[in-house]
Chain A
Amino acid sequence: NAGVTQTPKFQVLKTGQSMTLQCAQDMNHNSMYWYRQDPGMGLRLIYYSASEGTTDKGEVPNGYNVSRLNKREFSLRLESAAPSQTSVYFCASSVPGQWDGYTFGSGTRLTVV
């Protein structure tokens, strides 16, 4: 099925460990985004990529890095995980200039202990 695929779905890390969250879309969208959602809160934008080869910081970029590997894939890396990064991470994609909504993945639930 077409859409946004995130891996892994669940992950537990120890403080200081690193990991990369993967996101891929098969809708030929140019723009991709990473959000985090803490319990009882709305989503906050971490980084986004308006097009292949570009990335920009969002509202809460500290502690994260991103790579737009190609048009399909946009990864989020935690270099040294902290308990404050325990959250649900959502990837999304969209077509720039098309006034429709974003398509979101099903999320990665990350716990840092």
Chain B
Amino acid sequence: DAKTTQPPSMDCAEGRAANLPCNHSTISGNEYVYWYRQIHSQGPQYIIHGLKNNETNEMASLIITEDRKSSTLILPHATLRDTAVYYCISSYGGSQGNLIFGKGTKLSVKP
């Protein structure tokens, strides 16, 4: 079973920020939080990852709580092309080979 919990679906208005929550209350100290998304039936696409500190890249921002039990992925200005299933994953990364995908959050960006 996935070690993270996400809401099954969310809506967001085009141009507004999309805030996707994730609970990972059993995360261990050296596990990272990864976010991926899957558009239609394409292969998942890496978005961002973090350990303790907040992270930002050209796609999104990742906010991790101080106790590391939850995090939020922020898409600052959602577009229709951001409609996808978003997966939050806790993993040791590298070659551990165990990215465990749950069912994710289906984000629908509406005009």
Instruction: List the interface of chain A (C-beta within 8 A of B).
Output: 4, 30-31, 33, 35, 40-45, 48, 50-51, 56, 58-59, 88, 90, 92, 94, 96-107, 109
Contacts and interface: CB of A to CB of B under 8 A. Distances in A.
Contacts, number: 68
B80 interface: no
Interface residues of B, number: 24
A76 B45 CA distance: 22
B94 A106 contact: no
Nearest to A33: B97
Nearest to B35: A101
A101 B49 contact: yes
Contacts of A104: 43-45
A86 B97 CA distance: 23
A43 B95 contact: no
B43 A42 contact: no
A92 B44 CA distance: 9
B98 interface: yes
A92 B99 CA distance: 11
Given A40-B103, A101-B36, A30 B45 contact: no
26 contacts: A4-B43, A31-B95, A33-B99, A41-B103, A42-B2, A42-B103, A42-B104, A43-B101, A45-B98, A50-B95, A50-B97, A51-B95, A94-B94, A97-B94, A97-B95, A99-B49, A99-B93, A99-B94, A101-B34, A102-B46, A103-B46, A104-B44, A104-B45, A105-B43, A106-B42, A107-B43
Nearest to A3: B43
Q: Lowest 9 CB-CB distances: which A-B pairs, in order?
A: A101-B46, A104-B43, A96-B95, A42-B101, A48-B97, A43-B101, A50-B95, A31-B95, A97-B94
Contacts of A109: 41
B100 interface: yes
A45 B97 contact: yes
Contacts of B34: 101
Contact of A99 (B32, B45, B99, B101): B32
A25 B42 CA distance: 17
A84 B2 CA distance: 21
